[in-house]
Structure 1
Amino acid sequence: MAAATSHLRRLLRRHFSSSPSSILNPSNPSTPLSSKEKSRAALSLLKSASDPDHILSICRAASLSPSSSHLDRLALSLAVSKLSSSASPSSSSSSSQTLTLISPLLSSPSHLPHAIVLLGQAGLFDDAVAAFKASPSLRSFNSLLFAAILANRHADVSRLFRELPISHSITPNLTSYNTIVKAFSESGSSRSVFSVLEEMSRSGIKPNKTTFCSALAGLYKEEKFDDVEKLLVLMRKHGCGPRLTAYNVRIQSLCKLKRSEEAKALLKEMAANGMKWNWVTYNHLIYGFCKEGNLEEAKRLYKEMRRRGFVGDSNLYFTYIYYLCQGGEFEEALGVCKVTMARNWVPCFSTMKVLVNGLASSEKIEEAREIIEKMKEKFPGNADTWKEVEEGLAQ
């Protein structure tokens, strides 16, 4: 027992004597870090962290605070996701570690709303309800509604929306109504948004583009196209149409339904309204046509996007490369891959492996080897894996 106690004390001393810099910047622990540098370092380390204790140490070292910056909020959200996935959702150890991270935020009124959201994200919805009831306010109420969505408790959103304002003397605002619209739209009850809009009108609350975009997504998902038309009329009545954001939601929704030609037809409507589309519009259309196997139209849209000077996010290019490889368009995929690598964006290993093997099968061995060398340089830890791929190439 004495030996065990001594060992525990050594572990505790080592844990608490570690400076923030030694955890966040182990290659140069003597260099002090600014708050922003700590946040960036924490976010980067959390992406590859898996050990729960290490995740907690990173968060403590960075002194993450949801009110400090967007980076801190991203890092906290990532940490909660990592902790929640480190064990089964019902695991007491997983819940305990997550609560260890979130508990300090619960005592601060300014941090409480974000803490409630994190509890919902972690699936600890009962704890989120308890946190709200300990310090009820409009902000924490709105956070609790959103936490219910994150916890996949959509049915509870409507119940809480009806009960809590009465029991805690809270008057719902636009954010409250937008959250319940989102809940209905995500849970297969999108037609209920019309009654919500009527209630908003009675309460003197004007819906905004967020209200209508959530409703549009839900109606399209359930393929209630007649109701979409009704909603578009209401949008114009409330001065919320036509807008680029709404058009992008409509285009994305149609592409998800494999109705990409109908989605593309909306471009003419946008042009008639004097509206220009953006890279997000192209992103949805390229994905839609790729998903439907129409690579020729996807390639045309990609070239048009580039010609217009639009630059998408990394996911646009990664998705496009994946589908090009699936369609045997390895040369085209190589060209897109070079664009992404110039921006320091690299697709996942499985996609790159398909690309390399595809280039080799197309007698482009040198191009395949060049990709492998670049991947080994960028990710030296995966060098052995790429060596196996290289050895499998045709000689």
Structure 2
Amino acid sequence: MSSVVRQLHRVFSASQPAAAAAAAAAAATATARTTLTSTKVRKLLDSLERSLKPPSGQFRRQSRVLEAVHKLSSAGHTSLVDEILRDQKQRIGPESELFAAYLIELYGAAGMFDLARELFDEMPNLNCPPTIRSLNSLLQACVKSERFNEVERLVRDLPVMLSLEPDLVTYNILVGSYCRAGSIDRALLVIDEISEKGLQPEAITFTPLLVFFYRSGRFKEGDHIWDLMESKNITLNATTYHIKLHAMVSHDKLADAVELFADMEKKSVIPDVYCYNALIIGFCRKEDSEEAKNWYQKLVKSSCSPDFVTMSMLIPFFRKKNDLDMVYVLCTDLMSMSFRISPHLVQRVVDDLVQHSKLELAEELVKLSSSDSNSRYNLKIPSVSR
């Protein structure tokens, strides 16, 4: 065991029982089931079928596919998801392992690990022998189905049975699984094993450890992991930083978060929208409208763009502050963006502008919303103003 990791084991060993208890309590918490109308279920099923059966006969990984699977399964419609995915098995054959692996991951996204394993075991009979790629997809399905205790057994048994060599992705998944289960000591042992296998860990290898410690407010242990990454010459990226930034904001360390953001820029790490959002959220919680505005302007001038979280946070915040000029700027910016926030919220902005004798600005927003790309907002001037 390396001296650095050995030291980490000593640092963390005293806190393992509490961590395990916390993880067990979290696992025992039932997830509230969502409800969907029959029309919404039909739309999601249609979207899923279209995405899996494009005219070209090929497939592309699309976020809306995972979103549809997650929504349907969360609403208790796993049997419908299974029916669609089973229908896709006929497309599996020689040179289609990537598609088979994709279906395995979709089963995992729906929380149906047993069916993911069933498909994995069927692959040889479908003339599509599994490689480490599809094994890794099976491991991901196991993690997404929250069957953390089974991941270690799969990593130990399946490569031997199938004559496969685990790769870095395999070990990264195992690290993440142990962290989700609260078994940090085991996760650290995997870090050792990665080096012993001659593999080079990367930032994503350590990400679950950073998430575990920083989100729970254990900054000392999180910083040990951070230092370990730097000692291994692993490049700290925007994802690494935004994990720590969000944790600092959540634990009332906003000044430290601002300093960390400055450190990131000094080290030429390009911030992503999540980094900016962390500080925007922090200053909104502090009721500091000037700093919230300042960080939004920095975001707009950066190489990334505001997202759903940015606008959903700032528009209500500046409405509350009665800064309608800023709200108007935000809404005009929103009209050029591809995502949609609540149309009711944007309509209330129009109502506020009219109520405060800013009819010209209200009419401009309504005009912007009349374009094809923004018709989903369907804004109107309140009749009382006419």
- Pick one of 221, 225, 244 that aligns with 2:215: 221
Report if the CA contact (8 A) 1:157-1:180 is conserved. Answer: yes
> Residues 1-395 of structure 1 correspond to what in structure 2 (within 5 A)?
50=43, 52=45, 55-56=48-49, 59-63=52-56, 65-66=58-59, 69=60, 72-74=61-63, 76-78=65-67, 80-81=69-70, 84=73, 88-90=76-78, 92-100=79-87, 102-107=88-93, 108-135=96-123, 136-190=130-184, 192-270=186-264, 274-280=267-273, 281-306=275-300, 308-315=301-308, 317-319=310-312, 320-343=314-337, 346-378=340-372, 383=378, 386=379, 390-391=382-383, 393-394=384-385
Q: CA RMSD in A?
A: 3.3
Deviation at 1:187, TM superposition (A): 4.4
Report if the CA contact (8 A) 1:148-1:157 is conserved. Answer: yes
Pick closer, same or farther for the CA change 1:171–1:55 going to 2, 3 Å: closer
Deviations 1:245-293, CA, capped at 9 Å, x for gaps: 422332233234443322112134335x543543433233223322444
- The DSSP-based 3-state class of the residue aligned with 1:193 is helix
Report if the CA contact (8 A) 2:175-2:187 is conserved. Answer: yes
Name the residue aligned to 1:30.
none
Deviation at 1:51, TM superposition (A): 6.0
- Alignment partners' CA distance in 2, 1:139 and 1:129: 14
Deviation at 1:129, TM superposition (A): 0.9
Report if the CA contact (8 A) 1:88-1:94 is conserved. Answer: no
TM-score in terms of structure 2 length:
0.74
- Alignment partners' CA distance in 2, 1:174 and 1:231: 18
- The DSSP-based 3-state class of the residue aligned with 1:171 is coil
TM-score in terms of structure 1 length:
0.72
Deviation at 1:327, TM superposition (A): 4.0
- Alignment partners' CA distance in 2, 1:52 and 1:267: 42
- The DSSP-based 3-state class of the residue aligned with 1:347 is coil
Deviations 1:93-129, CA, capped at 9 Å, x for gaps: 44323432x4234443342211211111122211111
Name the residue aligned to 2:11.
none
Give 5+ residue unaligned stretches, structure 2. 1-39, 124-129
- Alignment partners' CA distance in 2, 1:103 and 1:327: 55
Pick closer, same or farther for the CA change 1:355–1:258 going to 2, 3 Å: farther
Report if the CA contact (8 A) 2:117-2:138 is conserved. Answer: yes
Pick closer, same or farther for the CA change 1:63–1:73 going to 2, 3 Å: farther
Name the residue aligned to 1:15.
none
Q: Which amino acid aligns with 2:107?
A: L
- The DSSP-based 3-state class of the residue aligned with 1:161 is helix
- The DSSP-based 3-state class of the residue aligned with 1:111 is helix
Report if the CA contact (8 A) 1:120-1:147 is conserved. Answer: yes
Q: Which amino acid aligns with 2:168?
A: L
Deviations 1:189-223, CA, capped at 9 Å, x for gaps: 44543222122223322211111233212221122
Runs of 4+ in 1 over 6 A off after TM superposition: none
Q: Which amino acid aligns with 1:88?
A: G
Report if the CA contact (8 A) 1:89-1:123 is conserved. Answer: no
Q: Which has the higher contact order (CA 8 A, sep 6+)?
A: 2
Q: Which amino acid aligns with 2:106?
A: L
- Alignment partners' CA distance in 1, 2:250 and 2:90: 41
Share of identical aligned residues, percent? 25
Give 5+ residue unaligned stretches, structure 1. 1-46
